[in-house]
Chains A and B, each alone.
Chain A
């Protein structure tokens, strides 16, 4: 089973600030997904990246897949309180399911 690391583990920022969170593995993966989980709810898919070097934008969120397909980053511009949540990255694991990273808990203070 491949293992994923995410950093930072916790992040607390003020509204309007920018931030970047990271997801890393020692292995190459075919694709990677980012999810956001809000308290009391299940994770919700934000994006899937499949090509090394790929950049995808979702409003104020920018996702990048590393050239070597071992890492990914999520950058949020001008964070808002509604961005608060647990950000999880996930990769396919031998075709049977997904392995999730431990997550980054983001808190955006008004």
Chain B
């Protein structure tokens, strides 16, 4: 069973479009995250979500919005996609804040 699963694995879209990436975890964890990994493999936090509290990295454009229908899901919606949004996006979860992270296998987003 996949602990943290995200879909789609690949997403190719044009500038200006709106897209969503879904993430689900079956570990019963309380905290979920979205990370962005750029072309140099640098992983940077975008959001963390714990007990309905959303912590936003202030450098993330407001075109990005996480949506959590329940504790097991944290989806990422992106409006008006730009070329610079191309990257691999990772969902992760942890039992609580500062517990080890469990990552999904990433969504490679390509904006053309």
A-side residues, CB < 8 A to B, are 31, 33, 35, 37, 40-45, 48, 86, 88, 90, 92-93, 95-100, 102-103, 105
Contact = CB atoms under 8 A, between A and B. Distances in A.
B55 A42 contact: no
B89 to A, nearest CB: 10
Contacts, number: 54
Interface string B26-44: 0000000100000011111
A93 B68 CA distance: 23
A105 B41 contact: yes
Nearest to B44: A100
B104 interface: yes
B103 A42 contact: yes
A101 B40 CA distance: 12
B43 A48 contact: no
Given A41-B105, A42-B92, A102 B42 contact: yes
